[in-house]
Chains A and B, each alone.
Chain A
Amino acid sequence: MRSPGGNSPSRAALPSALPGDSAGLHQPKRRSWERRPHLWFILPALVAYGILFIYPTIRSFYLSLFDWTGIGPIGKMVWLANFKELLHDERFRKAAWNSTKLFAVIFVLQNTVSLGLAMMLNRRSPMTHVYRAIIFLPVVMSAVATGIIWVLMLDPIIGIVNPVLRDIGLGSLQQEWQADPKWAMKTVYLVQFWQWNGMAVVLYLAGLQNVPEDLRHAALIDGAKRWQVFRDVTFPMLAPAFTIVTALSFILIFRAFDLIYVLGGSTGAPDGATLVIGVLIYGEAFGTSSFNAATRMSYAMAEGVTLFVFLAGMSGLLIRVLGRREEALQ
C-alpha cells in the first residue's frame, strides 16, 4: 500500500512503525485528525444534527410501518398499509392539492409582485431603507400573531376589512372572507404571500445589486427598450436568485403549518377548503381538539414521510433543473 505522500517511504519502512512501537502505530490516526482540524469544529453541530434530525427522521420511517395511535405500546407492524391508505385518502389528496395550488399562486406572485417591488427598491431614494424595512417586517413577525391579526381583521362581525370597504364605497365587495369556501383559500394565498413577500424581495434585491449597471446602460445605448433590457439582461442575471426563491418557497409552502392553522383551524375550515398537508399531519398525530383524542400517529408519520420524500425529490430536481438553467444563461 502506498502512503499518501506518493514517493515517501511506506509505513512499514518508517522507524516509528517498527513492531513494538505503539506510538508509531497510532501516529497515522493522529495525523488524520490533525490534517482535518475542521472536523473538531463541526463535530458538536454534527452530533446535535444527528440526535435532533437524523435519528427522528429514521425513527419516523420505521414507525410509519406500524398501526399505532401514539398512545400505549407500539402496535402491530402493517408494513406499507398506511402508505396504501394514503393513496386513497380523500382528505390527503385534498390537502396535497391545496398545498400545490398555494405554491403555484405564491410562485407567480413572488416572480411578479415581489420582483417588481425589488426593482423599485433597487432605485436610490432617501426612503428606500424605510420601504425595505416595511416590506421585510412581516417576515420577522410571529406567524401565529400574524394569523390572529388577519383572522380578527377579516371577521365579518368584529373585523375591519368589511367596514372599511363599505365606508369607501366598495360595500359590494364585502365578503365572508374565511367562511365562504370560494374566498377562504384566496385569503390564505393573500396572507401567506403577505408574510413571505419580504423574503423574496430581499433575495431578488440582492440579485439585482449584482447586475452590473454597465451592462444595462450598454443595452440601452444600443437601442434596447426597457422591457428588452429586463428580459435579456436583468432577468437572466437573476437566475441564481430565482433558483433560491423558487426552491425556498417550494419547501416553505409545502411544509407550511402555523399561519394556515390559525386561519383555517384544525380541519381547514370551511369544509376542508383551507386544509393543507402540514395541518392534516398535525391533526392526525395529535387530534384536532381537546374533545377529540383520537389520534393516528403512525398514519401521520406515513404522511410526513411521504411529504419528506416528495420534498427531497422535488427540491433536488428543482435545484438541478434551475442550476442548469443558470449555467445556460451565463
Chain B
Amino acid sequence: MSESFLGTRVSRRSIVKGMGGVAAASALGAPLALRTRGAAAQDKVELTIWGNHPEWKDPMEEILTAFMEANPDISIQLTEIPGPDYNAKLQTAITGGQPSDILGDLEGNILVRVAAGGELPFIDLTGKVDISGLTETARTQVEVDGKVYGCPLAAYTVGLAIQNPIFEKHGLTPPSTWDELLSVCQALKDAGETPIVLGAKDWVHPYFMYIGLASSVLGPDGFAALRRGERQLTEPEVVAAAQLLLDLQPYYNAGFEATDYVTAKAIFANGRGAMMVAGTADFTGFRQVNPEADLSFIAWPGPEAGKSATTTGLELLYTVSRFSSPEKQEAATKFVAWLATKEAQQLVSDKIALPVHKEVTESDDPIRAQTVAASQGGDVAVWYDLPEVSDSVTAVQNNQGGLWTGRLTAEQFAQEMQAAVKPNPNA
C-alpha cells in the first residue's frame, strides 16, 4: 500500500524506515541530552519552595535572587499557592512524599506535628540554623524541646488599614476608641462612603476583628489570664467586643457576608471603602491592586483611650523536607540558615512584611514603620497560634455567620467562643 502525500509517494516500508530512524536518533540523542543535563545539575542544586501569598511573588523572587547571588551553586524555583488552598496542597504533598524541598509549614504546625509524634516531614536543623537572633515569638514556633526545625519567613501585625484620601476628604481622623469608631463610621456613611470593608465569606476578617477587639479589652495581661482560665470571654466587658461587631453591621460593605477575602481587598484598595481589617502582609497586595493607593495603618481602637491593641502572627515556617535528597537537604538548610540572618530579614522587612530578627528595626516601607509603632500599645499573639485558644478559629468559622443572621446574640456568640478555650494554668 502506498499513498500520495504532498505529491510524494510514501510506501509503508518508507514509513517504517522513517520511524526506525527517529527511534535510532532518539536512542543516540537521549544519553547525550541526559549527560548534558547531568553536567548542568552538577553545577547547580535545584530546589523548590512554595509560598501562600500569590501577591508576594515578585518580592519573594527578589529575596530568593539575593540568596542565589550569594550562593551561585543553588537555584530555587518559587511556586505561590493561594492561601485557602495551601494547607490542602501541603498535606497532600506530604502524604505523597513530594512537598517542596524548602517546606513551608503553617504557623503553629511545627508544634502540632512534634506533639503528634511519629516521623516528621522536616529534618532536625539543630546546630545548623542559628535562631538566637530571632524574636521570642518566632523562636517558640520553630524550636521544640531544644531542637530547631526552621525559621519563619516573616511576621505580621493585624489592625485596621485606612484609606487616607477618604478620611481627608471628609475631614475625619482615624478612630482610637470604640465610640470614635462608631461616630466616624456614621459620618462616613452619611457622606455616602462605605465605612468598613469586611470579607466575611471565609470568616477571616470577622475573626481578626473579634480577636483584635477582644484583645483591646483584655490587654496582654488579660489575654494571658484568659489562657490560664482566670478570665472568661463571657465577661460583660468582653461580650461588648462581640456586640460591637454587631453594632457595626450597618457600616460594612453591601453583601459582606458573602464577600471573600481577596475581593474585599480589591474593593478597599480601589478606594471603595474607608477602613478594612488588615495585616502587615496585606499592604503588598493592596499596592498590587492599586499602586496609587494612599494608605496607613492603625491599631484596633480600644473601649477607652489608651487601650488600643494589635495581634501579631507569623508567616510560613520554612523547614527542610525529609523527602529531599541529602544534596538538596544540604542546600535547603543553607537557605533556612540564611533566612534567619539579619541580612535576609532586612530584605523581608523592606519588601514583604515584618522581620522576625530582633536587630532589624527599620524598613524602607512607611506602613511597616507605622505597624511597629501601632504594636507598641498592647500587642498579643494571634489567638490561633496558641494551643489554649487555637480552637477559637473553628468556633468563629462555625458561628460568626449566626451574628449576622440573628441566630446568635453577642452573649451566645461569646459563649461559643469561651467553649473553645482550653485553659492551661501554666500558660
Contacts and interface: CB of A to CB of B under 8 A. Distances in A.
Given A70-B91, A265-B201, A265-B260, A290 B404 contact: no
Contact of B405 (A72, A181, A289): A181
Interface string B368-395: 0000000000000010100000110110
Contacts of B84: 266, 288-290
A292 interface: yes
A34 B396 CA distance: 64
Given A158-B263, A179-B256, A290-B84, 13 more contacts: A151-B263, A155-B259, A156-B255, A176-B258, A178-B255, A267-B202, A269-B201, A273-B401, A288-B203, A290-B52, A292-B393, A292-B397, A293-B109
Consensus secondary structure, chain B interface: helix
Of B257, B398, B402, the most chain A CB neighbours within 10 A belong to: B257
B254 interface: yes
B394 A292 contact: yes
Contacts of B86: 290
A214 B364 CA distance: 82
Contacts of A251: none
B149 interface: no
Contacts of A181: 405
Consensus secondary structure, chain A interface: loop
Contacts of A293: 87, 106, 108-109, 112
Contacts of A158: 263, 266-267
Nearest to A292: B393
A289 B272 CA distance: 26
A264 B201 CA distance: 7
B162 interface: no
Nearest to A266: B202
A269 B116 contact: no
Contacts of A295: 87, 91
B279 to A, nearest CB: 10
A72 B114 CA distance: 8
A-B complex: 10 closest residue pairs judged by Cβ atoms:
A72-B116, A271-B401, A73-B118, A178-B258, A286-B88, A270-B257, A179-B255, A179-B257, A290-B83, A156-B255
A155 B267 CA distance: 11
A203 to B, nearest CB: 33
Nearest to B84: A289
Interface in A145-186: 151, 155-158, 176-181, 184
A294 B253 CA distance: 29
B207 A291 contact: yes
B116 A73 contact: yes
A73 B117 contact: yes
Contacts of B83: 289-290
Nearest to A68: B116
A91 interface: yes
Given A265-B202, A291-B207, A157 B272 contact: yes
B407 interface: yes
B218 to A, nearest CB: 20
Contacts of A155: 255, 259, 263
Given A71-B109, A290-B84, A270 B401 contact: yes
Interface of B: 52, 83-84, 86-88, 91-92, 106, 108-109, 112-113, 115-119, 200-204, 207, 253-260, 263, 266-267, 272, 382, 384, 390-391, 393-394, 397-398, 401-402, 404-405, 407
A294 B117 contact: no
B116 A288 contact: no
B296 to A, nearest CB: 23
B118 A291 contact: no
Contacts of A69: 116
B260 A270 contact: no
A287 B254 CA distance: 27
Contacts of B407: 271
24 contacts: A72-B113, A72-B117, A155-B255, A155-B259, A156-B255, A158-B267, A176-B255, A264-B201, A265-B201, A267-B203, A269-B201, A270-B257, A270-B405, A271-B401, A273-B401, A285-B88, A286-B88, A289-B83, A289-B87, A289-B202, A289-B204, A290-B83, A290-B86, A295-B87
Contacts of B112: 71-72, 293
A269 B255 contact: no
